[in-house]
Amino acid sequence: MDEQDVGDDETSAWRRRSRSPSGSSDSAPSPAQRSVALQPVSFNRHELRQIMRLYGQKVALGEWRDYALDFTPQRAVFSVFRRTSETPLYRIEKNPCMERKQGAYCVVAATGLILKRGHDLERVLRVLEGRPKLVLV
C-alpha cells in the first residue's frame, strides 16, 4: 500500500465524517452567515450622542483633545486621548457578548483597569464626569 493510498483513505473518511445528514458540510458557513459574522459591532446614534456630549464637555475644559473609533466584529471602542501621539486615557467599549452577564458597556483606564461596567451607557459614563468642586468664598 502506498503512502498516497493511505492519505486518500484518510481524506475521504474525514469528508464523510464532516458532512451532515443533508449532505452539506458543517464547517462551511453559508454566505448569509458569513456576512452576519463579519459585520462589525458599532455604536448607535443614541449611544454616540451620549459619548459625544461627554467628549464635548471634556474638550471645553481642556482635558481631552482627540478621539478614535474602532469597530471590530467583537466590540466597538471609543478611545479618548489627551494628545494625539499618546496612548488613550480611557476606552469606552461596547461588547455585545457581555450584555447578559455584566453589561455591554465598560470604561477602561489607560492601565487596563475597568473603571465601570454595566447595562446602561449613561450610568457607565458617569464615572468619567467630573464631580462638582467645592469653592471657598
pLDDT (0 to 100) of residue 15 = 44
Whether the Cβ atoms of residue 121 and residue 105 lie closer than 8 Å to each other: yes
pLDDT (0 to 100) of residue 48 = 93
CA distances from 39 to 34, 53, 106 (A): 9, 27, 21
pLDDT tens by residue, 90-115:
999 999 888 888 888 999 999 999 99
Whether the Cβ atoms of residue 103 and residue 114 lie closer than 8 Å to each other: no
Does the global pTM surpass 0.75? no
Low-confidence ranges of the chain (pLDDT < 70): 1-37, 132
Beta carbons within 8 Å of 83's beta carbon, 6+ residues apart: 65, 66
Enumerate the β-bridge partners of residue 66.
81
pLDDT (0 to 100) of residue 55 = 93
Tell how strand 105-109 and strand 114-118 pair up.
antiparallel
Residue 34 lies in a domain: no
Residue 35 lies in a domain: no
Domain count, the chain: 1
pLDDT (0 to 100) of residue 108 = 93
Residue 135 lies in a domain: no
The CA angle 89-91-94, to the nearest 5 degrees, is 175
Residue 10 lies in a domain: no
Whether the Cβ atoms of residue 59 and residue 51 lie closer than 8 Å to each other: no
pLDDT (0 to 100) of residue 135 = 73
Cell of 65: 483633545
Rg (Cα) of the chain, in Å, rounded? 24
Which of 69, 108, 68 is closest to 91 using CA atoms? 108
pLDDT (0 to 100) of residue 105 = 93
Q: What are the phi and psi torsion angles at 105 (to 5°)? A: -105, 145
Tell me which residue range forms the domain holding 60: 45-128
Residue 110 lies in a domain: yes
